A and B are shown apart, each in its own frame.
Chain A
Amino acid sequence: MLKNRIIPCLDVKNGRVVKGINFIELKDAGDPVEQAKIYSDSGADEICFLDITASNENRETIIDIVRKTAKECFVPLTVGGGVRTIQNITDLLLAGADKVSINTAAVQNIDFVKEASKKFGSQCIVVAIDAKKVSDNKWQVFTHGGRNKTGIDAVKFAKQIEENGAGEILLTSMDKDGTKSGYDLDLLKEITNSTNIPVIASGGVGTLDHLYDGIVKGGASAVLAASIFHYGEYKIKDAKEYLNSKNVSVRL
């Protein structure tokens, strides 16, 4: 039976791990390579790096981090942030990333998703959707780390990226991110029910119960969390043991 994945996410800025509260007010939580190794050794099913300043700054920093991490961690590594061109993807994959996560560039040009999945295979193309609630059961896609409203319906967009070859959806609720009040389960359900590719839930985890809800109530194939793992509130092992005790299948 396929296991539900626990994915710690490391937000990286200028080569250091940070975690934002609603994407602002960043704190320093250490060296990304070291953190990734700790996660991988403690049973993380995948590691995710999100380069939160990549849009405007030198990409070499994150590529160097990926290169070092890939030599030490032998679980899948996903890298997102500022992935805009085929060359960006090539560079990350050559450095040792297994998947790349595309956000703004997918919204601006859906053909980019198609082109990338055709060239590299769907298995390594993740599309990150940042969604914000606009009315009852309606969510819109936001870009640029949540700064720009696009007017695009999140559910429609999810279907569209599936049709264009994305292998996975990384779904972040902008309303919930950093709040520690749990995933936006309505949004999550809506997206997992209307697509046939795996969905990674993100944004809002504060307790282990939230992980359970994301999988069992929201239908996510994987749950991503950042701060609950960074600041040592919970270990990956705690999360897995908890889920296992509640009959959610995980890799122990």
Chain B
Amino acid sequence: MNVTIVDYQSGNISSVINSFTEVAKGKVNLEVTSDIKKIKSSDKIVLPGQGSFKNCVDSLNSISGLVDTLKDFAITNKKPLLGICVGLQIFADIGYEEAETKGLGWISGKVSKIDNQKGKFKLPHIGWNEIEIQKESKIFKDIKNKSHMYFVHSYEFIPEDKSVISATTDYSSKIVCSVERDNLFGTQFHPEKSDKIGLKVIDNFLKL
């Protein structure tokens, strides 16, 4: 099996590479690239994302043909794709970080700043928080409800269709922390930094 981590200059993806390498050991052929041909011939794609929504969308758009290739892969052909952090957020129609920015529009909804209730909650939301599983998800196989995952973000994805939400976490309100629709997956938390339980999420994705 060939799995591609899309390297589109979205910031620091070393941790994503390290953790997938650890889980993939000897089982999966892992590529880190933005090469369209290689992406097309992959079985699965990981779309990391750090920094701002706008930065990530701009970086994706700056690589000719990449957005269309990803859309064909994940939406038209319904092959497994996992977005992590801002990589999940950009599934939305629109984001408001830095400037109003059009997202990929794969899952209708918006990405806006977490309501910190006038300073009652510190932002960024940094650290370990419990996930509350909302529906059965393939990437949560053998993962207990209320497991701890590592988060670092100030913006949240608010999808229109609530049925895509597979888990939420509690920080000022119920924040969407993972989505699943067909073979499209996204986590707001960082499985690559969430210790053994995070590696299990990665393992589940690789085993799909």
Contacts and interface: CB of A to CB of B under 8 A. Distances in A.
Interface of A: 1-5, 40, 45, 70-71, 74-76, 93-98, 119-124, 167-168, 196-198, 221-222, 251
A121 B15 CA distance: 15
B30 to A, nearest CB: 14
Given A40-B195, A96-B14, A120-B11, A74 B19 contact: yes
Given A70-B18, A98-B193, A197 B150 contact: no
A70 B15 contact: yes
Contact of B128 (A98, A119, A197, A251): A251
A164 B23 CA distance: 37
B22 A71 contact: yes
B141 interface: no
Contacts of B103: none
Interface of B: 11-12, 14-15, 18-19, 21-22, 50-52, 55, 116, 119, 122-130, 148, 150-154, 170-171, 192-196, 198-199
A123 B84 CA distance: 14
A197 B11 contact: no
A123 B128 contact: no
Q: Is the interface of B mostly helix, strand, loop or mixed?
A: mixed
Contacts of A196: 116, 119, 122-123
Given A221-B126, A221-B127, A251-B128, 10 more contacts: A2-B151, A2-B171, A3-B128, A70-B15, A71-B18, A74-B19, A74-B194, A94-B12, A167-B126, A197-B124
Contact of B195 (A74, A122, A198): A74
B123 A197 contact: yes
A96 B15 CA distance: 6
A120 B204 CA distance: 29
B7 to A, nearest CB: 12
Contacts of A96: 14-15, 18
B12 A222 contact: no
Contacts of A94: 12, 14
A95 B129 CA distance: 26
A18 B19 CA distance: 28
A97 B12 CA distance: 9
Nearest to B148: A251
B154 A74 contact: no
A74 B51 contact: no
Contact of A124 (B50, B122, B123): B50
B98 to A, nearest CB: 9
Nearest to A96: B14
B142 to A, nearest CB: 17
Nearest to A100: B12
A40 B19 CA distance: 14
B129 to A, nearest CB: 5
B153 A123 contact: yes
Contacts of B150: 75-76
A5 B127 contact: yes
A1 B124 contact: no
B14 A198 contact: no
Of B15, B125, B129, B151, most A-chain CB atoms within 10 Å: B15
A10 B7 CA distance: 31
Of the candidates B12, B52, B171, the one having the most CB atoms from chain A within 10 angstroms of its own CB is: B12
B128 A5 contact: yes
Given A70-B15, A251-B128, A121 B51 contact: yes
Contact of A120 (B14, B51, B127): B51
Contacts of B55: 121
A198 B121 CA distance: 9
A120 B148 contact: no
A121 B128 contact: no
26 contacts: A1-B130, A1-B170, A2-B171, A3-B127, A3-B129, A70-B15, A74-B192, A74-B195, A74-B198, A75-B150, A75-B194, A94-B12, A94-B14, A95-B14, A97-B12, A97-B14, A98-B15, A123-B50, A123-B126, A124-B12, A167-B126, A168-B124, A196-B116, A196-B123, A198-B126, A198-B127
B153 to A, nearest CB: 7
Given A70-B18, A75-B195, A251-B148, A122 B124 contact: yes
